[in-house]
Structure 1
Amino acid sequence: MSILYRLLVLIIIALPNSAFALFDACLDYFPTQQLPSTAQIGRDLCFEGFAVYYSPEHKKPIYVVEKLNRNRLMGERQKRSNRFYEEARLPRQERALITDYRDSGYDRGHNAPAADMHNEQAMAQSFSLANMMPQARENNRGIWAKQVEQATRHYALRAGGDIYVFTGSTGDLGRIGTSQVTIPSHLYKLVYDPSRKKAWAYWIENTNTAAMTPPISYQELKDRTGIDFHLPDITP
């Protein structure tokens, strides 16, 4: 290997991860194929059925995006695998580990839900730790699963076409594990229906006693997260 080639490799590795947030293999998951804008540095990961913009610093997603529709959700339901795995595409020092969540008191909370997955491969990939955030257990299994994720699927079944769903978390309640995975203070799920030019977001505290509150506006979510999701033609 030439010295010049080695230098080139070192330069590429040293560049900010955001320079490579291109999602070349899964741009179709994004409305108008335009990526969100954020100051947070991350890595782009394409999966079967969803895409993750992943934070090497916090060891969890900055956001995850899915494109849902009635046909996808009406297909044969896949058996839940529950086989969580460490994301081998990430450098080891940037990965969350299985052991990070062990005895932490927090669930491995899906961003792109397993119940949204339309085939065996997508179901298996949804258990990547790159798709997980530390989530309060009663929150994950209760209010989030029943009143946020399920409500979003029900809307997708009624919608006239594709809807786009962004899920993520923000804030800092501390760290878990040797990898120092950040525990978020709040979770969000943004739903965008281009046929109606409408968008709204669920905003939930990451606690076991979190209460359901009315959805917030797209603009308010942008203000709270610092992320511009570039949703076109939103009608107030």
Structure 2
Amino acid sequence: MSQRKMLQFSTGALLLLLPWFGGLVLGEVSSDFSQCLDFFYNKTPPQGITDVGYQPICQRYRNQYRFASLYHRQHREPLYSAYILSPADGKRPNVSWMYEPQLAFSRASPEMKPFHTPLDQNVIESQAMLRDYRNSNFTKGHLNPSMHQKTIEDREATFTLTNIVPQRAGSNSGPWNRLENEMLRKFNAFCEGPMYVITGAMSYESGDHWINNRVSIPEYMWSAYCCPSYKPNLPESARPFFPTYAAVGRNDPNSGEEIVPVDVKARASVRGYDVRRMTLETLEGILRQRLAMPVSLFRGQCQ
């Protein structure tokens, strides 16, 4: 297909989405990640995700790009957030939750903003609201966790609902939290360069599940990292984890066990929220089957 025809096709696809977009979107909420490619290995976002319902967001806070998210407008949640891991130099910040103005108005500020009431109806329709999570029995699950970000500003920037999915408390504070801490330990012990992380959510295969009839509930969480530069002479126990590794975690204790088996010996409070570690290739195979798209997370498999 010629470049001109591709441009015509892309523009036509965007125009079909105007009821969701609220206008042709420019700036930080755009048709690609061109303003924030540094958050992806080899400056290449995941390939093969072709659904026009996904909206790239270069997450901007205090006049600086902090990470990237691919947002699904209809589901009102991100498919994934991509970031460079950098261990926090302080505690979890006490900051107001924020939203993305440009999801509602193309000419709005490119900076994420704190929630204030009343909000314009276009904002409410374009993305998740804090009230969606009230009395829902779900926590606000970070895809880019604040403790994977070094500075206070970077940590504050993770508190936007465009980086959040409905996550069960048993997962969020249990096995998934342990996985996030495990990634930090591997980075500190063995990674000699940047560690590129992509963390996402996987919808139910049997049909969408919702909170407040607005925000899609994921059946699983998933994450993968790429550390292209790591210490030579890795100990035998660490070699399977480099340069890439991945995991899938259960967000529903009643799900089947084809993807993540249940540890029947786990404590009752976290049983059913198990996390299965796996190779990058295995995770990509699962995503390809569930999304029906030829997903490739890291260019050249991070080699």
TM-score band, normalised by shorter chain: 0.7 to 0.9
* Corresponding position of 1:5: none
* Corresponding position of 1:45: 57
- Judged with a 3 Å threshold, the aligned counterparts in structure 2 of structure 1 residues 206 and 122 are, in CA distance, closer, same or farther, namely same
* C-alpha contact (below 8 Å) 2:176/2:275 kept by paired residues: no
* C-alpha contact (below 8 Å) 1:86/1:128 kept by paired residues: yes
Q: Is it true that 1:86 corresponds to 2:99 in the alignment?
A: yes
* Corresponding position of 1:149: 180
* C-alpha contact (below 8 Å) 1:59/1:182 kept by paired residues: yes
Please say which structure displays the higher CA radius of gyration: 2
Count of paired positions: 220
Once the two structures are overlaid, the 10-residue window that deviates more, 181-190 or 32-41, is 32-41
* Aligned-pair CA distance for 1:213: 4.6
- Judged with a 3 Å threshold, the aligned counterparts in structure 2 of structure 1 residues 76 and 216 are, in CA distance, closer, same or farther, namely closer
- Judged with a 3 Å threshold, the aligned counterparts in structure 2 of structure 1 residues 209 and 86 are, in CA distance, closer, same or farther, namely farther
* Aligned-pair CA distance for 1:33: 0.6
Once the two structures are overlaid, the 10-residue window that deviates more, 209-218 or 33-42, is 209-218
**Displaced runs of 4 or more, over 4 A:** 10-13, 15-20
* Aligned-pair CA distance for 1:39: 2.5
**Mapped partners of 2:94, 2:227: distance in 1:** 30
Aligned AA for 1:90? L
* Aligned-pair CA distance for 1:224: 1.4
Once the two structures are overlaid, the 10-residue window that deviates more, 116-125 or 156-165, is 116-125
Aligned AA for 1:89? Q
Taking structure 1 as the reference length, what is the TM-score of the superposition? 0.83
**Mapped partners of 2:12, 2:217: distance in 1:** 32
Q: Any residues of structure 2 matched to 1:217-232 within 5 Å, and which?
A: 217-226=279-288, 227-232=295-300
* C-alpha contact (below 8 Å) 1:21/1:53 kept by paired residues: no
1:26 is aligned, of 31, 36, 53, to 36
SS at structure 1 position matched to 2:45 = coil
Aligned AA for 2:55? R
**Mapped partners of 2:14, 2:170: distance in 1:** 40
* C-alpha contact (below 8 Å) 1:78/1:117 kept by paired residues: no
Q: Any residues of structure 2 matched to 1:1-236 within 5 Å, and which?
A: 14=15, 20-37=30-47, 38-40=49-51, 41-47=53-59, 48-68=65-85, 72-73=86-87, 76-91=89-104, 92=123, 93-145=125-177, 147-158=178-189, 159-172=191-204, 174-178=209-213, 180-195=214-229, 198-207=243-252, 209-226=271-288, 227-233=295-301
**Mapped partners of 1:201, 1:12: distance in 2:** 33
Structure 2: which 5+ runs fail to align?
1-10, 60-64, 105-122, 231-241, 253-269, 289-294
* C-alpha contact (below 8 Å) 1:164/1:192 kept by paired residues: yes
**Mapped partners of 1:166, 1:24: distance in 2:** 17
Taking structure 2 as the reference length, what is the TM-score of the superposition? 0.66
**Mapped partners of 1:213, 1:143: distance in 2:** 6
**Mapped partners of 1:113, 1:85: distance in 2:** 15
**Mapped partners of 1:154, 1:117: distance in 2:** 14
* C-alpha contact (below 8 Å) 1:21/1:42 kept by paired residues: no
Aligned Cα RMSD in Å?
2.6
Asked which structure has the greater RCO (Cα within 8 Å, sep 6+), the reply is 1
* Aligned-pair CA distance for 1:121: 2.2
* C-alpha contact (below 8 Å) 1:101/1:107 kept by paired residues: yes
Identical amino acids, percent of aligned pairs: 22
- Judged with a 3 Å threshold, the aligned counterparts in structure 2 of structure 1 residues 101 and 214 are, in CA distance, closer, same or farther, namely closer
**Mapped partners of 2:173, 2:184: distance in 1:** 16
